[in-house]
Amino acid sequence: MRGLFGTPLLCTLLLSALAAPLALQAGNSSTSAAKHPPANVILFIGDGMDEHQITLARNYLLGANGTLAMEQLPVRSSAKVQTLREDDPTQYRYVADSANTASTLATGELTSMGRIATSAGDDRDLPTVLEAARQAGLATGLVTSANLTDATPAAFATHTAHRKCQNPGDMHKPINYVPATQQCLADHESQGGKGSIAEQLLASGVDVLLGGGKKEFTRIDSHTPLEKIAASHGYQLLQQREKLLAYHGNEPLLGLFASGHLPVEWIGEGNRRAEPMAFNLLGEPMFPTPFSCQQNPRHRGTPTLEEMTRVALERLADKSTGFFLMVEGASIDKQAHQRNPCGEIGELQAFDRAVAVGQAFASKQTNTLIIVTADHGQAGQIIPLPEYYQSWGGKQYPPGHYAVLETRSGELMGVSYATNAAPQGKSELHTGVNVPVFLQGIGHRQVPALIDQRTINQLMRQHLGLTSGAQ
Amino acid sequence: MRGLFGTPLLCTLLLSALAAPLALQAGNSSTSAAKHPPANVILFIGDGMDEHQITLARNYLLGANGTLAMEQLPVRSSAKVQTLREDDPTQYRYVADSANTASTLATGELTSMGRIATSAGDDRDLPTVLEAARQAGLATGLVTSANLTDATPAAFATHTAHRKCQNPGDMHKPINYVPATQQCLADHESQGGKGSIAEQLLASGVDVLLGGGKKEFTRIDSHTPLEKIAASHGYQLLQQREKLLAYHGNEPLLGLFASGHLPVEWIGEGNRRAEPMAFNLLGEPMFPTPFSCQQNPRHRGTPTLEEMTRVALERLADKSTGFFLMVEGASIDKQAHQRNPCGEIGELQAFDRAVAVGQAFASKQTNTLIIVTADHGQAGQIIPLPEYYQSWGGKQYPPGHYAVLETRSGELMGVSYATNAAPQGKSELHTGVNVPVFLQGIGHRQVPALIDQRTINQLMRQHLGLTSGAQ
């Protein structure tokens, strides 16, 4: 790895005496925990949340002078997103998916698209930071607004050749466009595999699992009530927001608050999304009218990411062992795929509120490293308003799907999705841009301006004392 | 201004004793310069160079594991791009142009699109950091790969209602889509104005002016040789690369190395750019074949941005007064407008080499603040490869202009431009994303993770001792 801590600063030198004892504090037994607070890591992953998606949400929510909670973390870096080719793992692709990038964040190793903590080409299981934390006696948790079996949470606690192996029923079905080396059958228990993602999660021993995807767990055994399946693995099953907020026991928690992904917080007025350009009889572009965002009535009764994060932090901190917690804002990405700027903005707001909960926690438990990042880029772009296209004359208009949002401060903002011409039902695609990294609790270390996603894994392991040597 | 220096760090406290004397060093007379080296600022502006444009150039040039020179600067932040509406300066637009953003970097004030260091709505001249540096006795310079009269350099040393007022002949022509308050006539000398940008630059007293745009200066007075016009303002005119590299005098320099913008360094193989999708007789998309980038033969004999930066630094450092230098990589933006990924990448490489010259200079003259940033976002996006669209089946393809580049490491990268459906002759448009900020020489200060372009101006003024109080 290239010089993780970059140019040495004078303050680094002056403070080096302080660094040595701190480096030993992580993973301590409870006796020494009295002297040094336990080391905690909270990794926030905004799925698809590149700088462009952040800017468009901030503009809508807070106007041109706003600052999100995540942007108030003291240190910023940017992470390269690296993806190996399954057919030749010495070569790279320049657009990733959530599976390979979450796998890199989780394991510190690069891999190919679709893979869940397994290696490109040869399908080795790659150990994760969550597993290492658990082995060291730390508490662990995964919180997401998607299915718990979705790629991002899955990559921290399970190992499969492909993200689609979510429940046992998935394992035999051939996956159409996926290479033979990534079909799910090899992961089936009958083939000596570890089983589907849902099965592996239940066996993972992760202390707190909160999200959606009830149907994936139900399919493990349709004859047995889900409570019983959960209990047989030591989990208390929670299925209602009220139960979650009222829970104060200390059993391992499996919270499943929707059949699939959790409903998103916001929708567009009249359910509007970005739309393809319409044309009048003269063939002239007719630009879409502006709209605002509103609450999604379907979200009512669903716990927010903020609420799930708060419960997870309480449960994990109670153990006083130190912990690793991953919190995913999953539907920033999913709503961008669907060209739904209001969905994206509402989910980014929900994610940012969860980050604020993490910051408040870290202000009390100071040995907490917070990293906020994304896994890969998304399609949304802020582009000019209709009046601008019209001022240039002729047939000038955005070639993709376009929305004009009226922001909270009453201004207009043009948003475009233009990575896929396919009409409805098909989705926009990821982009290959670097993703932002915000850090707090990194101490006196310098994080270089450009890192890669492996470095994020190393920073987390270091903070938890899970690696022996210096980088 | 919101807390510029963010969360205080322990090292800030420990080093605070050192801070006080350093804060007074800037703008010193030559007697005290012996004790404290003079304070220098080099501001590098990559026009249109957002994170996406940087990533696509890095991937092409250095592969998935590369790091550009600018990305080796020790501190990263990100700057909001803020644009007032000319028709109502209390309201914002969310997409900017190079004129209003360069004006903000130059003056520390927000303004409206098209404006050159004048205020939105009421057309007041806004004083610039370059002018303040000059008044304090510091040396000053502007280097660009565009016309010297183009918006970015212009905003540091001239004041006009609109960027199009480049030469006296421009001043009477009405500009079609521009509001009445931004027409150029009011800036004409006959109306008591300061004249065109070319005229104002000649009268600016800037010590080093290097770039293109000879025709704009010729139009000041077509009956007088350009050498004479330059000499009448005290400038030595240089028009050839060889003359520039051989020059070792200490007259003010006006280097004009092309009639318009300087030719770009790279073009696509066979002059290829991103192309609209073609379709076969069945209406199925035919994806473009890959191509690589090559040298542009038209660039031969043109000084590189690196060479111009080196000469400028030598000239300005010779004065031992401290200096302000702005270096613009102008055609990253211009080539993105033209959907020319090879042009973009070659210009970003040229810009990054100029940054490396600045870094080498700062390693010797340690009281040098380097800031590398962009003015606004651009259209280029890294999107999936044809094989990926094809694997999804059906009529899935990028809706804009698309190129598949074969990178230096032999991998393929898909690049899309999709902000404007207009075919040839019309251009892609800017985007509203935050822009990256890389810093070196900021000392022990903490720069927040999110700033705005006004803050960049304040950091430069502080470093040069051009503001009285603490921020």
Q: Could you tell me if A185 lies within 8 Å of chain B, comparing CB atoms?
A: no
Say yes or no for a CB contact (<8 Å) between A431 and B65. no
A408 occurs within a structural domain: no
Contacts of A33 (CB under 8 A, 6+ apart): A320, A321, A322
Q: Which of B77, B98, B112, B204 is catalytic?
A: B98
The span from the CA of B3 to the CA of B20, in Å, is 19
Contacts of B360 (CB under 8 A, 6+ apart): none
pLDDT of residue B35: 60
Chain B residues with beta carbon closer than 8 angstroms to that of A419: 381, 383-384, 398-399, 416, 418
Residue A183 has pLDDT above 60, yes or no: yes
Using CB atoms, pick whichever of B91, B381, B429 lies closest to residue A411.
B91
Type of residue found at A45: I
What is the mean predicted confidence (pLDDT) over A166-187?
Answer: 88
Q: Are A141 and A148 in contact (CB under 8 A)?
A: no
CB < 8 Å from B in window 139-178 of A: 177
Q: Are A98 and A455 in contact (CB under 8 A)?
A: no
Cα-based distances in Å from B291 to A310, B380, B402: 51, 17, 12
**Rounded-to-5 percentages of helix, strand, coil across chain A:** 35, 20, 45
What is the mean predicted confidence (pLDDT) over B290-314?
Answer: 98
pLDDT of residue A185: 84
pLDDT of residue A296: 98
First-to-last alpha carbon distance for chain A, in angstroms, is 8
pLDDT of residue A460: 97
Output the DSSP codes for B67-125: --SGGGSSEEEEEE--EE-SS-TTSEESS--HHHHHHHHHHS---BTT-BSB-TTT--B
Give the residue carrying structure tokens 């002059």.
B271
Chain A residues with beta carbon closer than 8 angstroms to that of B51: 50-51, 78, 433-434
A414 occurs within a structural domain: no
CB pairs under 8 A between A and B: 257
B392 occurs within a structural domain: no
The span from the CA of B65 to the CA of A81, in Å, is 10
Q: How many degrees, rounded to 5, is the angle at CA B110 between CA B107 and CA B111? A: 105
Is position B16 annotated as part of the catalytic site? no
Residue B300 has pLDDT above 50, yes or no: yes
Q: Which of A77, A98, A103, A196 is catalytic?
A: A98
Nearest Cα of chain B lies from the Cα of A112 at a distance, in angstroms, of 13
The pLDDT-based confidence of B446 (bands split at 50, 70, 90) is confident
Looking at B194-249, list the stretches that DSSP marks H as alpha helix, in order from N- to C-terminal side: 197-202, 214-218, 226-232, 241-246
pLDDT of residue B4: 32
What is the mean predicted confidence (pLDDT) over A279-293?
Answer: 95
Say yes or no for a CB contact (<8 Å) between A449 and B420. no
pLDDT of residue B245: 97
Chain B residues with beta carbon closer than 8 angstroms to that of A384: 95, 419, 429-430
Using CB atoms, pick whichever of A2, A50, A64 lies closest to residue B80.
A64
- A35-74 pLDDT, tens digit per residue, is 678 999 999 999 999 999 999 999 999 999 999 999 999 9
What is the mean predicted confidence (pLDDT) over B395-422?
Answer: 96
Say yes or no for a CB contact (<8 Å) between A416 and B420. no
Say yes or no for a CB contact (<8 Å) between A392 and B446. no
B150 is in an annotated binding site: yes
What is the mean predicted confidence (pLDDT) over B44-50?
Answer: 98
Q: What percent of chain B has pLDDT over 90?
A: 81
Higher pLDDT, A278 or A15: A278
A14 occurs within a structural domain: no
- A244-278 pLDDT, tens digit per residue, is 999 999 899 999 999 999 999 999 999 999 999 99
B430 is in an annotated binding site: yes
Residue A206 has pLDDT above 80, yes or no: yes
In Å, how far from its chain's centre is CA B319? 25
pLDDT of residue B425: 63
B141 occurs within a structural domain: yes
- Closest chain A residue by Cα to residue B392: A177
What is the mean predicted confidence (pLDDT) over A169-175?
Answer: 87
pLDDT of residue B41: 98
B428 is in an annotated binding site: no
The pLDDT-based confidence of B394 (bands split at 50, 70, 90) is confident
| Least confident segment among A141-150, A377-386, B164-173 | B164-173
Type of residue found at B150: D
Q: Domain holding A441: CATH number?
A: 3.40.720.10
The span from the CA of B236 to the CA of B227, in Å, is 7
B16 occurs within a structural domain: no
Using CB atoms, pick whichever of A2, A94, A449 lies closest to residue B73.
A449
Q: What percent of chain B has pLDDT over 70?
A: 91
The pLDDT-based confidence of B350 (bands split at 50, 70, 90) is very high
pLDDT of residue B24: 33
Say yes or no for a CB contact (<8 Å) between A434 and B94. no
A173 occurs within a structural domain: yes
- A93-141 pLDDT, tens digit per residue, is 999 999 999 999 999 999 999 999 999 999 999 999 999 999 999 999 9
| Least confident segment among A17-31, A89-103, A129-143, B292-306 | A17-31
Nearest Cα of chain B lies from the Cα of A408 at a distance, in angstroms, of 12
Say yes or no for a CB contact (<8 Å) between A74 and B448. yes
Domain of residue B102, residue span: 38-271+292-378+435-463
Say yes or no for a CB contact (<8 Å) between B399 and A397. no
B394 occurs within a structural domain: no
Contacts of B330 (CB under 8 A, 6+ apart): B47, B144, B145, B146, B150, B152, B261, B347
Contacts of B81 (CB under 8 A, 6+ apart): B96, B101, B375, B376, B377, B432, B433, B434, B435, B452, B453
Domain count, chain A: 1
| Least confident segment among A326-335, A440-449, B335-344 | A440-449
- B51-73 pLDDT, tens digit per residue, is 999 999 999 999 999 999 999 99
B337 is in an annotated binding site: yes
Residue B218 has pLDDT above 70, yes or no: yes
Q: Could you tell me if A275 lies within 8 Å of chain B, comparing CB atoms?
A: no
Q: Could you tell me if B65 lies within 8 Å of chain A, comparing CB atoms?
A: yes
Say yes or no for a CB contact (<8 Å) between A413 and B426. no
